Amino acid sequence: MLVLNILVCGGAGYIGSHMCHWLQAHGHSVAVLDNLSTGHREAVRWGEFIRADLQDRSSLDQVFAGRSYDAVMHFAASSLVGDSVRDPVATYQNNVTGTLNLLEAMRRHGVGRLVFSSSAAVFGEPRADLVDELHPLEPINPYGASKRMVERILADAAASYGLRAVALRYFNAAGALAGAGIGEAHACETHLIPNVLRSAGGSGPKLSVFGNDYPTPDGTCIRDYVHVADLASAHGLAIEYMLAHEGFHAFNLGSEAGYSVMEIIATAADIVGRAVPFEFAARRAGDPARLVASSAKAERLLGWKRDWTDLRSIIESAWQWHRQQPY
């Protein structure tokens, strides 16, 4: 097996920490770059921790100096859509300028491979039941626009400098590895499944369900959920793909199956053993009725196959982690 040295930017966060667990389990050497603005030091359990900030160019040189990396995985970003609307400049500085600083440091130190954590937000309003990579890129908020900008930068850098880069567009990351002690721990939680579980478990407020008049079977939004461990495996396959392929490539990562908000609530209530307190609220601007990915390209070219294939097991894994938490 080929052993690689990987720098994981944002490795103290939700997806990044699961990525580090996957890399070490597969024999790779890991270094974690994180400024701990939203990540957690206790989540860095696999590999060397380097406290640095993508906004600080001098600290990046210290990260790369004296070390040899085969590739970089980039998870560090401002990820809250609402915050991006309230303060778009801060989002662009963190997501776009931070990535430019990282790319410049990689060039200075001769590192030519990058896996980028992108998002379904690059697509905007879906025009198809299954969103594939040919879908127009029309982001409707600054967060999605920042991810789209970075994808364009990576494509241009690949064409001009020979960078090898893969952008992986997640739809909804979910679940946890409770046995490894890591899960979805956000100070400001906006994702549906953890908020449903907190409401059901009594550690969170009553859940707000935004809209019940969508053109879906039960009137609530339908979304696509992928276990975070399956996202990690896709990143590992992306590294292998870059070793064999030049240029920039983008892949959608989803389950090709959608679940409504009410289906999530019903499944969580059954798992937890108590009802989820919720109330209907007005629709949120920009929320499409349905957003589900086609992952055919990732399956065909990366050889990606999900191990977590049903909604119940994904939510159960998240609940196992949540019930271990002190809140």
Catalytic residue among 69, 143, 225, 241: 143
Residue 232, amino acid: A
- Burial class of residue 46 (count of CB atoms within 10 Å of its CB; 0-12, 13-18, 19+): buried
**Is 143 tagged catalytic?**
yes
- Residue in the structure block whose two tokens are 């060039």: 107
CA dist 240 and 227 (Å) reads 21
CA 247 to chain centre: 22
- Residues 158 and 138: beta-carbon distance below 8 Å: no
C-alpha 92/C-alpha 90 separation (Å) is 5
* 70: Cβ contacts below 8 Å, ≥ 6 apart: 4, 5, 6, 111, 113, 239
DSSP-derived pairing of the beta strands 71-74 and 173-174: unpaired
- Known catalytic residues are 143
